[in-house]
């Protein structure tokens, strides 16, 4: 399964800043800053303070970027911070890079994988993991590295199976470990 | 012509210089402090049995004993980035601070950009610009793997870089700015300094290329000075030994823009030589001696050139 958030190659479009709240919304269906932050808090139990300095932007319908600084709105550039989330669809989908960056201290929906499972996950394999008793949907997959839990990426858990969404370009980074 | 013969007279020990240029370089990684600490990165390498040795001048720059960097867990997690040892110098000279506005004029594939982001604690506005879209895509990939979130990716010719996208002449608009605190010009160049990694650069070298790329370098460095705040910093770096692409470029810009070349603190334990004031029939401003040349035999690295400029108030 592809991670559209990471593989998107639309260059040079405009980035529009997310409205802070629904009252400030001009473009219909554009999520608000509050909704985006709350989604991360709700889904992964992370501290909303993590996003305090961030501005949030939409490029193309539903592709949300987080930028740790201030620039003019709108802005026409090739990239602005990090692609973190795909919205405007029933289940919002986080990106691999965002989960690695922001979910180190996640308290919810983190599935901890054994060394063998972690390697298979990063290689892009889907795995039957019936022991998971938590929510279905998008999870942070993690493993232990240097004595602590470290997020690997995003898995989609459905019917006892964890599907890897690690993008192709990231899968190759571990080939020789297999 | 082997260009190294052309530059050998500039160095203190010609034989050691030519001999070092023949040896291949070890694989070197920089620890990415946006995603981890130096201690944890080292622990992860230890756990995997990857042998490394820290450089004696920077605890976060590690020489790997045999493996290439892209095949282990800390690399997958963006804890490490493969970057030639000597190429860590320009960011150190630039001395970026959290929250500043910084422009990396020739940024792709982003080794120095991502190092600058880490030194800014990933806060502020860092513009990573390159005129080559293909290379820019590599920059974006590296930045995302390393977890950088303060980067604006831009695709302009740095020689006539426009500040329009950033709100030039609309000072009332929130987030707008017209000038940078610091700018890095890591210029395209003849690259003989990378011959230990890529010996082909020596066969491809021509005097015509030196002349044409020097024109581009002058244009980019002038623009860099023009968009930097009074009192701000511009760093100019290349991986060539050619004075035409180094001291001559500085001398040209000194005459035309309001700036000076200042000394910068090279890390302890790292050997460098001063910029030169005479080459063939040309003489350069004496302040170019503040620039630092790095020859491969001095620290067993690639070759390099780094100068720090201060824009006048
Ligand atoms: C030495 S490389 C930069 C390496 C990069 N700073 C790093 O550390 O990974 C020089 C870059 O300058 C770019 N370049 C060449 N001419 C340019 C111009 N006129 N404007 C902007 N970028 C240019 C090239 O595409 C190339 O990527």
**Model confidence over B94-136: pLDDT tens digits?**
999 999 999 999 999 999 999 999 999 999 999 999 999 999 9
Residue A127 counted as domain residue: yes
Mean pLDDT of B205-234: 97
Residue A66 counted as domain residue: yes
Q: What is the pLDDT of residues B257-269, one digit of tens each?
A: 999 999 999 999 9
- Give the pLDDT of residue A1: 42
ipTM: 0.95
One domain for residues A90 and A114? no
Min Cα distance B129 → chain A (Å) is 9
Distances (CA, A) of B131 to B137, B157, B161: 11, 5, 10
Q: Which residues of B are catalytic?
A: 239
Q: Residue ranges of the domains in chain B?
A: 3-25+85-311, 26-83
Q: Report residue A122: phi and psi, to 5°.
A: -70, -30
Expressed in angstroms and rounded, the spacing between residue A49 Cα and the centre of ligand 1 is 36
Structure tokens belonging to residue A104: 């180190």
The dihedral region occupied by A72, where left means phi > 0, alpha psi between -120 and 50, and beta the remainder, is beta
Atom 6, ligand 1: residue with shortest CA distance? B107
One domain for residues A30 and A87? yes
> Looking at beta carbons, which pairs linking A146-150 to residues 24 or more positions away fall under 8 Å?
A146/B36, A146/B40, A146/B41, A146/B43, A146/B44, A146/B47, A146/B74, A147/B40, A147/B43, A148/B40, A149/A104, A149/A110, A149/A112, A150/A104, A150/B77
Expressed in angstroms and rounded, the spacing between residue B192 Cα and the centre of ligand 1 is 16
Domain count, chain A: 2
Q: Decide if pLDDT at A12 tops 90.
A: no
Half-sphere exposure of B112 (CA within 13 A, CB side): 32
- Measured CA to CA, the distance from residue A15 to residue A33 in angstroms comes to 14
Instruction: Give me chain A's average pLDDT, please.
Output: 90
Asked if A71 and B167 come within 8 Å (Cβ–Cβ), the reply is yes
One domain for residues A22 and A93? yes
One domain for residues A37 and A81? yes
One domain for residues A27 and A95? yes
Structure tokens belonging to residue A9: 């190659």
**Contact by Cβ (8 Å): B89, B169:** no
Q: Among residues A75, A102, A129, which one ends one of the domains?
A: A102
Query: Which of B110, B188, B190 maximizes ligand 1 atoms within 8 Å of its Cβ, making it the mutation to test the pocket?
Result: B188
DSSP A135: -
Q: Decide if pLDDT at B66 tops 90.
A: no
- Give the pLDDT of residue A4: 42
Distances (CA, A) of B296 to A42, B17, B63, B111: 54, 6, 16, 20
One domain for residues A115 and A97? no
Min Cα distance B186 → chain A (Å) is 20
Residue A63 counted as domain residue: yes
- Measured CA to CA, the distance from residue A131 to residue A60 in angstroms comes to 38
One domain for residues A158 and A115? yes
What domain range is A152 assigned to?
110-170
One domain for residues A92 and A115? no
**What CATH number does domain B3-25+85-311 carry, 3.10.290.10, 3.30.1490.20, 3.40.50.150, 3.40.50.300?**
3.40.50.150
Partners of B210 in the β-ladder: none
Expressed in angstroms and rounded, the spacing between residue A95 Cα and the centre of ligand 1 is 28
- Measured CA to CA, the distance from residue B184 to residue B91 in angstroms comes to 8
One domain for residues A84 and A45? yes
CATH number of the domain where residue A136 is located: 2.30.130.60
Q: Among residues A102, A130, A147, which one ends one of the domains?
A: A102
- Report chain A residues whose CB lies below 8 A from the CB of B144: 6, 82-83, 97
**What CATH number does domain B26-83 carry, 3.40.50.360, 3.65.10.10, 3.30.465.10, 3.30.70.1170?**
3.30.70.1170
One domain for residues A142 and A78? no
Residue A134 counted as domain residue: yes
Which residues lie with the beta carbon below 6 Å from any ligand 1 atom?
B 87, 105-112, 130-132, 135, 157-159, 186, 188, 216, 220
- Report chain A residues whose CB lies below 8 A from the CB of B32: none
Q: Decide if pLDDT at A37 tops 50.
A: yes
Structure tokens belonging to residue A134: 């938590």
Min Cα distance A69 → chain B (Å) is 5
């Amino acid at each position: 399964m592809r991670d559209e958030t990471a593989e998107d190659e639309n260059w040079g479009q405009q980035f529009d800043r997310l409205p802070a709240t629904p009252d400030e919304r001009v473009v219909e269906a554009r999520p608000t800053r509050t909704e985006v932050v709350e989604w991360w808090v709700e889904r992964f139990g992370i501290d909303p303070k993590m996003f305090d300095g961030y501005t949030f932007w939409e490029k193309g319908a539903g592709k949300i970027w987080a930028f740790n600084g201030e620039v003019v709105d709108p802005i026409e550039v090739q990239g602005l911070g990090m692609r973190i989330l795909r919205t405007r669809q029933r289940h919002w989908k986080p990106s691999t890079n965002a989960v690695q960056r922001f979910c180190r201290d996640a308290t919810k929906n983190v599935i901890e994988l054994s060394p063998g499972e972690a390697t298979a996950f990063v290689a892009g394999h889907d795995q039957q993991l019936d022991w998971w008793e938590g929510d279905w949907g998008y999870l942070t997959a993690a493993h232990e590295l240097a004595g602590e839990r470290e997020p690997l990426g995003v898995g989609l858990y459905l019917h006892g199976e964890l599907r890897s969404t690690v993008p192709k370009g990231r899968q190759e980074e571990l080939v020789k470990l297999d | 012509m082997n260009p190294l013969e052309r530059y050998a007279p500039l160095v203190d020990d010609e034989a050691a210089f030519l001999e070092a240029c023949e040896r291949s370089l070890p694989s070197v990684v920089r620890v990415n402090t946006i995603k981890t600490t130096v201690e944890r990165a080292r622990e992860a390498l230890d756990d995997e049995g990857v042998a490394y040795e820290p450089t004696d001048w920077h605890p976060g720059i590690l020489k790997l004993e045999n493996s290439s960097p892209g095949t282990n867990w800390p690399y997958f997690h963006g804890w490490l980035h493969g970057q030639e040892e000597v190429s860590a110098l320009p960011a150190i000279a630039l001395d970026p601070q959290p929250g500043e506005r910084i422009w990396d004029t020739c940024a792709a594939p982003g080794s120095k950009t991502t190092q600058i982001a880490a030194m800014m604690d990933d806060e502020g506005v860092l513009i990573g610009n390159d005129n080559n879209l293909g290379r820019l895509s590599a920059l974006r990939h590296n930045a995302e793997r390393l977890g950088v979130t303060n980067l604006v990716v831009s695709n302009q010719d740095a020689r006539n870089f426009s500040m329009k996208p950033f709100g030039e002449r609309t000072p009332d608009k929130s987030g707008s700015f017209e000038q940078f605190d610091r700018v890095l010009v890591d210029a395209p160049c003849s690259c003989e300094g990378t011959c230990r990694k890529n010996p082909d650069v020596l066969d491809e070298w021509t005097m015509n290329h030196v002349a044409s790329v020097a024109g581009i370098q002058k244009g980019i460095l002038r623009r860099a000075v023009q968009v930097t705040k009074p009192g701000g910093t511009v760093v100019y770096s290349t991986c060539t030994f050619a004075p035409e692409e180094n001291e001559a470029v500085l001398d040209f810009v000194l005459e035309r823009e309001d700036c000076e070349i200042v000394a910068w603190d090279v890390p302890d334990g790292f050997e460098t030589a001063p910029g030169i004031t005479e080459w063939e029939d040309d003489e350069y401003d004496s302040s170019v001696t503040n620039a630092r040349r790095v020859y491969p035999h001095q620290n067993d690295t690639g070759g390099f050139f780094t100068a720090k400029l201060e824009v006048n108030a």
